[in-house]
Structure formats: C-alpha cells, structure tokens
Amino acid sequence: MRLLRLLALLWSTAALVASTDIQSYTLRVQAEGGGAGQAMATVRLTGCTAGALNLPLGFASPEGLKLEEAPSGVRLELGPPSGMTLIHFQFPDGMPTQATLRFSFSLKQVFQVTQLALGEKPTLPTGSRSFRHAFVNTQEAPIDTYRLEFLFPEGLMAQAIREQLPRPKKSEIGPRVLLSKLEGRQAAILQFTDLHQGDDTSMVLELVPTRRSLGWLIAGLLLGGLYLFKFKDLVTKQHP
C-alpha cells in the first residue's frame, strides 16, 4: 500500500513538472577583463502549477545564485553537480499560471584556457581569448526558445565563430550565432527554438584585442590631405 502511494506521489510530481511550458529562457552573461563574469537569467513560463521545476544551466560552478524576481513563495536552490548544473525551483500552492522568473549568479572564469602542445606556436595574438558555451535540455519540460547573450569585455572583438550548432533549418531566418552590440559592447547571440529533452546547442568564439582598421586610417589620411589641398587652393585664389 505504501509503495502504491509512493508511486502515485512520484507520478503526480512528474505531471506537475511536465505541465509547465518554458516559453523563453534568456541568459545574459557580461564578461570582465580578468575573465570573471556576471549573469542574469530571465525565464518566462505558462501553465505553472504547484510543484518542482528543474532548469538546466549551461555553466559549471555558478556562485552567488540569487532569485531576483518571482511570484511570492517561489524557492530557488542549486542542485548537486551531475554532469550538467541544474537549477531547482519549488512553486507554492496558488502559483500563477503565467510567471516570469529572474535569477543571477557569477562565474569565476568565463573563458577557456588554450593549452599549447610542446613546440606549438600560438595562432592568436597576445591577449586573445576563446569562449565556449554548450547547453543541453536534460529535463522533460520543453523550452520554446533558448537565447544566450554574451557581452565581450572592453577591448575585445570577435575574430571568428568556430562553432555554431545545430545548423539552422531551412525554415529559420539568420545564422545560429549573431554578432551584434548590446549595451554599447560587442556581443554574440546564440538562439535555438523548440528544445525537447536531449536537444542541444553550442557556440565557440575566438576573441582578439580590438584593433583599428588600417583601411579606415588610410582613408582618413587621404581625406584630410585632400581637404588641406582644397583649403590651400581656396586661400591662394582669395589672396593673389
């Protein structure tokens, strides 16, 4: 009898989790020059009911996890590491069917450290970094849209996108990874829609120190020289 009650409880909990629809999961990571990072996640839900919701996090060892916005009574905690980090939400009785959750955390090291083999020459300029992000939906709840916004540190720009998976479908518009500007900083945006359990997405970037284009410099010098030549010619005509 106790076994039947336990099985019924487990089935009920699974049903509660499965009923929640994750409309969007947006994660913005702002990297600092020293390699650390600050992150803010925004999760929009529909069909919420009381119970548990587990959310995968594509970063290892987050620190200072804090719930920034949520309906009253929602609890948040970090799950034990088991391959991929999990964020545990506990929804109270009377949970609104639609809700927005925001939580923040920090990262000690955002960038990947490139290890060169003995005698291997570096292929990137001094001060360059590499950034890799991989996300897998390990849970039953589907994610309609997953979006990662990665803001580069001041003084760095993207030299190459080494990986952007999965490849966009014919029905999708635009690349998997888009280089853009957010809050006045260079940024890369990874976006993937309709993630079911087991679906994954990833990107790898090469970042190099910002440099001024030599072409623009030459063009500026030529324009400046032309302006001075015309100005001199004008002065000569006015004062024979």
Which tens digits make up the pLDDT trace of 99-148? 999 999 999 999 976 666 677 777 777 778 999 999 999 999 999 999 99
φ/ψ of 128, rounded to 5, equals -75, 160
Q: Is the peptide bond before 166 cis (omega within 30 degrees of 0)?
A: yes
Q: Where are the domains of the chain?
A: 22-209, 214-240
Name the percent of the chain lying above pLDDT 90.
64
- Nearest 5°: the CA angle 95, 98, 102 is 85
Average pLDDT over residues 144-159: 96
Do 76 and 70 meet the contact criterion of CB atoms below 8 Å apart? yes
CA distance readout (Å), 215 to 210, 219, 222: 15, 6, 11
Using DSSP bridges, classify how beta strands 21-31 and 143-151 pair: parallel, antiparallel or unpaired. Answer: parallel
Domain 22-209, second-level architecture: Sandwich (2.60)
R_g of the chain computed on alpha carbons: 25
Average pLDDT over residues 166-190: 93
- Virtual CA dihedral for 20, 146, 105, 94, nearest 10 degrees? -20
Do 180 and 188 meet the contact criterion of CB atoms below 8 Å apart? yes
φ/ψ of 235, rounded to 5, equals -65, -40
- Higher pLDDT, residue 172 or 221: 172
Give the per-residue pLDDT at 121: 75
Average pLDDT over residues 69-85: 86
Of 11-15, 39-43, 216-220, which gets the smallest average pLDDT? 11-15
In sequence order, the 6+-apart residues with CB closer than 8 A to the CB of 168 are: 174, 175, 176
Give the per-residue pLDDT at 169: 86
Q: Is 195 exposed, middle or buried (0-12, 13-18, 19+ CB in 10 A)?
A: buried
Cα 206 to Cα 149: distance, rounded to the nearest angstrom:
16
Q: Name the pTM for this structure.
A: 0.79
Report the mean per-residue pLDDT for the chain: 84
Span 208-228, pLDDT tens digits: 998 754 444 455 556 566 556
